[in-house]
Amino acid sequence: MNEKLKREVKRNEERMIAFRRDLHRYPELSWQEIRTTNRVVEELGRIGLECRRMEPTGVVAELVGGKPGKTVALRADMDALPVMELSETLAYKSENDGKMHACGHDAHTAMLLNAAEALVSVKDELRGTVRFIFQPAEEITEGAEAMIEQGVMTDVDNVFGIHIWSQMPMNTISCNVGPVFASADVVEVHFTGRGGHGAMPHACVDASVVASAFVMGAQAIVSRETDPLEPAVFTVGRMDVGTRYNVIAEHAILEGTIRAFNPQVREKLEQAIRRYAEHVAATYGATADVTYRYGTHAVINEADSAMLAQRVVTDSFGRDVLFSDRPTTAGEDFSYYLQDTPGCFALVGSGNAEKDTEWAHHHGRFNVDEDAMVLGAELYAQYAFAYLTENPF
């Protein structure tokens, strides 16, 4: 633990919270983070860091230490969600109607800026380089790939990220070895039957019946075709069928999501969904067209990196703060940074019933216990310092 980092993060706490509230008041959706990008650039300039604007939004900055060494990247996401904020008492409530920081990305951005300022204060002691990645468009799982394509991971030796987590209690941090977030894929199934009069089903092939049979039966793919010790989820969230009460539907369009931690399970689920859709359609004399789109990979924490993060937590905050949370089947595009580079992703607990911060992410009442941001900012900074110190060459 670097004591100066701890002092600097705490010293800048009020500025960090004010910056987070500013972003919360003016949230911007994926690929629209223009004001947010400008505000980040302003803050980086204030603390003396040159930066590069990404296309169309996003920022990357770099701090070169006083001693040679490796490069560690720290990532924060910046985008908001198309969610109506439901709080009536929050002083910094969203002023952009129908848009809200309902997932904590405003806090992530503010925490990373605080960490950057703290690391600048120990520049001469740093053995290497810290790269700060302020990423857009995480909520639509496009930002990480775009940033990587623009070179933010070039020559990076390790990468670290944080997510504020309302489902964990305050004063807890989790960074387990292995799976943290699931892969998140999207499937669309288009069934085509033969439409006709609602009073003459014998002359038709009812696409609504085909779609219903598929939805009801497809859960057997998870319950009977995957290893029960390998978690998987298949959810059909949208079904668009029919045009009128007395017309047999000719078309049915279904959209769903598939979640898994094991890449082999992920591939098996795709194959099974395609097979099941085709067989169900054939049973009723219909046809099926399946479009399967791979989304984010599973976030799998590399062992050495996760264990380093755990040591940082216990050294900086005490053993009682270290928490072992179960993996979640939510998705996170931080997974793209981990495809070719070792690293890990930590969860910082923000749930506090007294401050009403236990609402689920993406809910209109979601909010952050801002006391958690001090832990998050210091964790960013201490992880980078520790990695560079322990891996000098």
CA separation for the pair 253, 109 (Å, rounded): 38
Find out whether 105 is annotated in a ligand binding site. Answer: yes
Active-site annotation holds for 240: no
Contacts of 330 (CB under 8 A, 6+ apart): 181, 182, 184, 361
| Residue 238 phi, psi (nearest 5) | -145, 135
CA separation for the pair 202, 204 (Å, rounded): 6
Beta strands 232-241 and 251-260 are antiparallel
Please pick, among 138, 250, 333, 369, the residue that the annotation labels catalytic: 138
Are residues 107 and 114 in contact, defined by beta-carbon separation less than 8 angstroms?
Answer: no
Q: What is the dihedral of CA 301, 340, 388, 6, to 10 degrees?
A: -50
Find out whether 197 is annotated in a ligand binding site. Answer: no
Please pick, among 79, 106, 142, 369, the residue that the annotation labels catalytic: 79
Are residues 261 and 327 in contact, defined by beta-carbon separation less than 8 angstroms?
Answer: yes
Find out whether 363 is annotated in a ligand binding site. Answer: no
CA separation for the pair 221, 227 (Å, rounded): 10
Distance of alpha carbon 192 from the chain centroid: 35
- DSSP secondary-structure letter at 369? -
Active-site annotation holds for 79: yes
Find out whether 163 is annotated in a ligand binding site. Answer: yes
Q: Is the peptide bond before 56 cis (omega within 30 degrees of 0)?
A: yes
Beta strands 183-192 and 51-53 are unpaired
CA separation for the pair 134, 58 (Å, rounded): 6
Can you say whether the dihedral through the CA atoms of 210, 269, 232, 345 is positive or negative? Answer: negative
- DSSP secondary-structure letter at 360? P
Active site residues: 79, 138
Output the known binding site. 103, 105, 139, 163, 362
Output the known binding site for Mn(2+). 103, 105, 139, 163, 362
